[in-house]
């Protein structure tokens, strides 16, 4: 095992720790770690990220359910449009994208570059969601949208999840608060159920299009699961609000870093 692999597994532990502490953000670290540290191309990295985030979220979801901080019925209802979109995007959309999408003058925009650039834009949205104030979150509780809007949201979020290999918890939580009028803590727990279902079903779409390095993926995921257990344990001793906001600023910095790397490639 070389030094990069060791660093990668330590990074997997950090991914789990973040998931355990702030209830999301696993893919924000997983995809850049797989691409820029371990050298995987973005298509494979996003596929692996779905498995890592899905298996880790499953552990977190079980713990939330045991504590009564997740609504299984609402989670399953919201998952239906989302997992269809995730699976279809991983099975048909991503594999069939051309290697060069278009050209800007003499500069070609490749599929890999487009995926990572899109990923960085979603990271920017995630950072805003995590940095926003508590008052803004409370205001969401005053509204409730019809299910057809939530169905459309599920399709859109599921497609985004499929393309970038993200869990999408930062997008699901506001939707759950809006539609189901769930308290923020219960929305976070319920989103873990949705992320688990979407990510793992989305990953099955990749099983038919790419070759999986199971030994690496299972080892990486094991480190992530250990990290999430540690994170859940110590989260009760640390302010969740401060952690979430701090991770939001880190996410913002990483989004700009990815944009910088892709523009200068």
Average pLDDT, the chain: 81
The pLDDT, as a whole number, for residue 138 is 46
Quick: pLDDT tens for 82-106: 888 888 888 888 888 888 888 887 7
Across the range 193-201, mean pLDDT stands at: 88
pLDDT, tens only, 19-50: 777 666 677 788 888 988 898 998 899 899 88
pTM: 0.76
Range among 21-35, 120-134, 245-259 rated most confident: 245-259
* pLDDT of 215: 93
Residue 149 has a CB neighbour count (10 Å cut-off) of 12
Tell me if 223 sits within 8 A of 13, measured CB to CB: yes
SS3 233: helix
CA nearest neighbour of 167 among 231, 98, 82, 94: 82
CA nearest neighbour of 30 among 243, 21, 13: 13
**Pairwise CA distance, residues 174 & 159, whole Å:** 17
């Amino acid at each position: 095992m070389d030094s990069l692999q060791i660093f990668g597994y330590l990074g997997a532990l950090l991914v789990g720790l973040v998931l355990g502490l702030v209830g999301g953000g696993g893919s924000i670290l997983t995809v850049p770690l797989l691409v820029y540290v371990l050298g995987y191309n973005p298509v494979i990295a996003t596929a692996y990220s779905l498995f890592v985030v899905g298996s880790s979220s499953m552990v977190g979801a079980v713990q939330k359910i045991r504590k009564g901080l997740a609504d299984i019925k609402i989670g399953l209802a919201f998952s239906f449009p989302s997992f269809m979109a995730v699976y279809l995007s991983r099975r048909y959309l991503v594999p069939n994208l051309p290697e060069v999408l278009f050209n800007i003058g003499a500069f070609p925009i490749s599929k890999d570059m487009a995926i990572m650039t899109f990923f960085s834009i979603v990271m920017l949205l995630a950072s805003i969601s995590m940095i926003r104030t508590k008052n803004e979150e409370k205001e969401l509780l005053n509204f409730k949208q019809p299910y057809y809007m939530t169905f459309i949201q599920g399709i859109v979020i599921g497609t985004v999840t499929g393309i970038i290999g993200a869990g999408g918890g930062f997008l699901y939580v506001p939707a759950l608060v809006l539609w189901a009028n769930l308290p923020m803590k219960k929305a976070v727990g319920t989103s873990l159920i949705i992320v688990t279902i979407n990510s793992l079903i989305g990953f099955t779409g990749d099983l038919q299009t790419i070759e999986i390095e199971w030994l690496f993926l299972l080892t990486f995921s094991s480190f992530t699961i250990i990290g999430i257990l540690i994170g859940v344990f110590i989260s009760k001793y640390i302010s969740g609000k401060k952690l979430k906001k701090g991770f939001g600023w880190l996410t913002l910095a990483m989004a700009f870093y990815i944009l910088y790397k892709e523009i200068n490639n």
